[in-house]
Structure 1
Amino acid sequence: MGCGNKIFFWLDKWAGDYSLKEQFPSLFALQSDKRCLVQHRYILSDGHIHWTWGGESPITLSETARMWEDCVNRLENVQLNKKSDQWLWKQDENREEFRVGNLRSELDGISMLPETHVLRWLSRIPKKINCFLWRAVLDRIPTRDALVIRNTHIPSVLCVLCNTRNESMDHLLISCQYAQLVWTTISLWVKIPLPRYLLSVVGLLEYIEAHSSSQDKKKVVYLIIAATCWTLWRIRNNVIFNCKTTHVSRAVGDIKVLSFLWVKARAGKTDLDWKECGEFSCFK
């Protein structure tokens, strides 16, 4: 606590383990400015702190006046100074001012789930697609296998794209015959041959991370992988909900269009020409 210029008088926990809103709900209900700051509710005079009601409605009832007196008594031990308020947090047993950079360093030191080390959060990919790929890596998308595990009644657990194997996340996005044809074409486009033993999204991302030469190419290929997984998921949903199938060539075309639009609009490459999209080098 400094001068109270960043702390809400009623809403924050600054005078005990509970906020004043929770300690004195009747007083809070009478307040017109419920988001007032601490510095708006006191006056310093000769080194003494005088707390002010500040509400538009004056305190008239004796019961309300007693509650306000109790509230003021609760604030007797609060110390104020002329410095700005600071948010402190505990790190390595030392309290220090909160900074986003320090929080990022702390999070980077936490061991993640083994599967998530392959994920990148790229600004050039829409947030919805970043979240989708994250959920796919953790096997948290509602495939037919996942729905059965959740005791959801469905007519069949077979993959709607090949009708030969159960529709798990890795099967749908990687090992399905339809998906394999799409990935084969995509691998030729990005000029990275994909081995047959890749059977999971995590394995695919690990392979790309290990075999791409530069960081820029890794980011672009990651973007294309995200576009491919998202397109396969949309095709699957289109078959289930609209009874419409998509030819492999059309799927590949949709992936290229998505990749082109994301790089052009979100990566700032406004000079990117669609006519050159057939050559993967134009994305670099």
Structure 2
Amino acid sequence: MFLAPKKVIKALEAIRRDFIWGRKAGKHKIRWIAWSQMTRDRALGGMGLGNLRNTNLAFMTKWWWKYKAKPKELWTRVIKAIHDNNRSYKLIPSNKKVAGVWKDITKAGKELESMGVSITDELTVEVGNGKAIKFWLDRWSGDRSLKDAYPGIFKIAENKHAMVADYVTVLQNENQWFITCTRPPNTDEEWSQWANLLQQINGTRVSGKEDRWGWKSDSKGIFSVAAVRNQLNKAEVNQEVEEWKLWNKWVPPKANYFSWRAALEKISVKRELVRRGMNISNVLCPRCGVSEETVDHLICECRVSQRIWVEVSKWLKVPSISGRRNCKELMEHCYTLKGSGDWRKIINVVIQAALWNIWKSRNDKEFEGHLRNEKEILDNIMEDSFIWVKTRSKIQGIVWERWLDFNIRDVVS
């Protein structure tokens, strides 16, 4: 209901960061990915945690929309009685001498303007009966308000706050307009504006339906807090970003999150730890002991991982997955295979289960000295992927006996 102070937002974001990344002995753990990317929408290449400030501003914008969309409600009439005056031509009224939450709500407009989002431009209306649209001040005919489009006529208008319904009579096949002015137009410019005004509004059909206020940047023109928040999130991205399209609802969040970080090379392999200032005496892969441990080596190049991918490919009955250069290429491979969308989604589940178990086997060797063999890892991959698909998808008819042979083509649409 109120515009949160920036200090409050900053404190809340700090709590969220500490929760995500963790703290140990009063110190921050490594923060692998910029917080701005963590809060960015998934469609913009982020984790999708959401930006608190943008969410707060989006909720403030909803009150602008409600004020315009619901002029007859009691609270709207109270706000109008307190803040409106005949000399104000703003989208929503604001009396600077009156303190309170409404002042905060109107201040949100300036902050959105500084972020490149104009509420005045974005709030659009589909004309119905005209009872919720100000004839001169709202943008209901054309891309500008009639006040700005025809300033000469607005200057002599009798009621500058008139509603569209005040000036129109709806007949069976047409609308008749009766615009009252303090005097008739008396210059060539005023007559020209008068003729253009009538021509413009005659092209707008007024009906008996309710007026519908919406949001221009939404694909369907419908106002929602999510639409405003998404637009604010996009406005903060100053460069082109690549969407991570491999999020899979059939995979648990922790595994989805790990796969995304692995594709960005933001997991705690030894090279990345050294780059972040940690002193590590042995940077070789703990499983093969031959090459420096990088993300690509761990996932794709290590001979242990390669043997796992060969066995996974045989089980799935698909061309060999082994030989991919990096984690992202490996995950995208499933969508190059022929088959239905659900079948390829299941392949993606298996690949993410494999990534997850390769990582766990690496940690077992690094921290416990236990090197799991390929059969043990493959069994874990089969078990995890079966449980994920069985519990998180709506596909019926998948049973363990058939899953062991990956004989599921007939039950996957």
TM range (shorter): 0.5 to 0.7
| Identical-residue share of aligned pairs (%) | 24
Aligned residues: 224
CA, structure 1 residues 158+77, in 2 after alignment: closer, same or farther (shift >3 Å)?
closer
Q: Which residue of 2 aligns with 1:257?
A: 383
Q: Deviations over 1:164-216 (max 9, x none)?
A: 11110011011110000000000111121126642211221233222333211
1:147 aligned onto 2:273: yes
CA, structure 1 residues 120+236, in 2 after alignment: closer, same or farther (shift >3 Å)?
same
CA, structure 1 residues 155+77, in 2 after alignment: closer, same or farther (shift >3 Å)?
closer
Q: Which residue of 1 aligns with 2:328?
A: 202
1:94 aligned onto 2:115: no
1:193 to 292, 307, 319: 319
CA, structure 1 residues 232+210, in 2 after alignment: closer, same or farther (shift >3 Å)?
same
| Residues 228-237 or 120-129, more deviating | 120-129
Q: Secondary structure at the match of 2:339?
A: coil
CA distance in structure 2 between the aligned counterparts of 1:76 and 1:137, rounded to whole angstroms: 45
Q: Secondary structure at the match of 1:250?
A: helix
Q: Which residue of 2 aligns with 1:74?
A: 99
TM-score, length-normalised on structure 2?
0.46
CA, structure 1 residues 91+152, in 2 after alignment: closer, same or farther (shift >3 Å)?
same
CA distance in structure 2 between the aligned counterparts of 1:258 and 1:108, rounded to whole angstroms: 36
Contact 2:300 2:322 survives alignment (8 Å): no
Equivalent runs, 1:112-261 vs 2, <5 Å? 113-114=241-242, 117=244, 119-194=245-320, 197-261=323-387
Q: Secondary structure at the match of 1:158?
A: coil
CA distance in structure 2 between the aligned counterparts of 1:211 and 1:48, rounded to whole angstroms: 65
CA, structure 1 residues 103+180, in 2 after alignment: closer, same or farther (shift >3 Å)?
same
| Residues 188-197 or 101-110, more deviating | 101-110
Q: Which residue of 2 aligns with 1:266?
A: 392
TM-score, length-normalised on structure 1?
0.66
Q: Deviations over 1:85-139 (max 9, x none)?
A: xxx993895242335367669989987645x54x422111001111100000000
Q: Deviations over 1:53-92 (max 9, x none)?
A: xxxxxxxxxxxxxxxxxx9743599599xxxxxxx99389
CA, structure 1 residues 112+126, in 2 after alignment: closer, same or farther (shift >3 Å)?
farther
Q: Which residue of 2 aligns with 1:281?
A: 407
Q: Secondary structure at the match of 1:245?
A: coil
Detail structure 1 runs of 4+ shifted over 2 Å in the superposition.
42-45, 47-50, 71-80, 88-114, 194-197, 205-208, 211-214, 268-272, 281-284
Gap regions ≥5 residues in structure 2: 10-62, 64-74, 84-95, 106-111, 124-214, 216-222
Q: Which residue of 2 aligns with 1:27?
A: none
The letter of the residue matching 2:99 is: R
Contact 1:146 1:168 survives alignment (8 Å): yes
Q: Secondary structure at the match of 2:408?
A: helix
The letter of the residue matching 1:224 is: V
The letter of the residue matching 2:371 is: T
CA, structure 1 residues 188+98, in 2 after alignment: closer, same or farther (shift >3 Å)?
same
Contact 1:145 1:157 survives alignment (8 Å): yes
Radius of gyration: which is bigger?
2
| Residues 237-246 or 103-112, more deviating | 103-112
Gap regions ≥5 residues in structure 1: 1-6, 23-37, 51-70, 81-87
CA distance in structure 1 between the aligned counterparts of 2:398 and 2:275, rounded to whole angstroms: 45
Contact 2:309 2:321 survives alignment (8 Å): no
Contact 2:306 2:322 survives alignment (8 Å): no
User: Cα distance, 1:217 vs. partner?
Assistant: 1.8
CA, structure 1 residues 169+112, in 2 after alignment: closer, same or farther (shift >3 Å)?
farther
